[in-house]
Amino acid sequence: MGKFLGRLVLVIVVAGLLGLIGYGYLGNLSANQSEVRVPVTLEAQ
């Protein structure tokens, strides 16, 4: 029984890692881009 649970946990961990790697490569992880204009006051010396 212990061997079976160990293998089951290992298979679940490997499947999770493969899923995470696949999502990282195939998922849409790009950030939304937008232009931001903010006035800046410079203090002259």
What CA–CA distance (Å, rounded) separates 1 from 14? 20
Give the tens place of pLDDT for each residue, 3-42. Answer: 999 999 999 999 999 999 998 888 877 788 999 999 999 9
Residue 10: its pLDDT value, please? Answer: 97
What CA–CA distance (Å, rounded) separates 23 from 29? 9
What CA–CA distance (Å, rounded) separates 38 from 34? 13
What CA–CA distance (Å, rounded) separates 39 from 45? 19
What CA–CA distance (Å, rounded) separates 2 from 13? 17
On the question of pLDDT at 45 being above 80, the answer is no
